[in-house]
């Protein structure tokens, strides 16, 4: 599943969207993490909830990309790894304070499972202190 020795990052939905659609909106730190992963020097974990949110975002834009297509693209990539929602993430949700919104709480739980920073510009996740934030 993970690549031993490589830095690991957890991906937030908006950071992924900006990376794919508007890379100029990324901060230097987020851009560096994506570039490192693209060069094979890191891995970026895409939580199942992020795939669901990304799908919903594309529906709202009237250009839907199916979850199956998103997951297939992740699986074909060198830098991204899909992480299914499972027991470990759900268990870690109960250990998180300061993040009340369910989607963000699941992303924070993913960071706890992987013991990895989150690529995000989300202020609630930043203030929570659950994980290091890359932005």
* Three-state secondary-structure class, residue 118: strand
Range list of H helices, the chain: 13-21, 28-38, 48-60, 67-76, 87-93, 102-114, 123-128
- pLDDT by residue for the chain (135 residues), tens only, comes to 456 689 999 999 999 999 999 999 999 999 999 999 999 999 999 999 999 999 999 999 999 999 999 999 999 999 999 999 999 999 999 999 889 999 999 999 999 999 999 999 999 999 999 999 999
Q: Which CATH architecture has domain 8-134?
A: 3-Layer(aba) Sandwich (3.40)
In the chain, where the domains are located:
8-134
- Given this model, what pLDDT does residue 1 score? 46
Per-residue model confidence (pLDDT) at position 2: 52
pTM of this prediction?
0.93
């Amino acid at each position: 599943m993970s690549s031993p020795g490589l830095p690991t990052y957890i991906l937030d939905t908006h950071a992924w969207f900006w990376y794919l659609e508007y890379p100029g909106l990324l901060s230097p730190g987020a851009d560096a993490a994506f570039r490192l992963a693209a060069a094979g020097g890191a891995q970026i974990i895409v939580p199942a909830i992020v795939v669901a949110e990304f799908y919903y975002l594309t529906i709202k834009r009237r250009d839907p990309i199916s979850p199956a297509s998103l997951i297939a693209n992740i699986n074909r990539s060198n830098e991204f790894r899909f992480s299914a929602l499972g027991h470990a993430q759900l268990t870690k949700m109960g250990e998180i304070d300061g993040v009340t919104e369910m989607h963000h709480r699941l992303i924070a739980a993913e960071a706890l499972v992987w013991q990895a920073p989150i690529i995000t510009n989300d202020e609630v996740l930043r203030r929570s202190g659950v994980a290091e934030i890359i932005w």
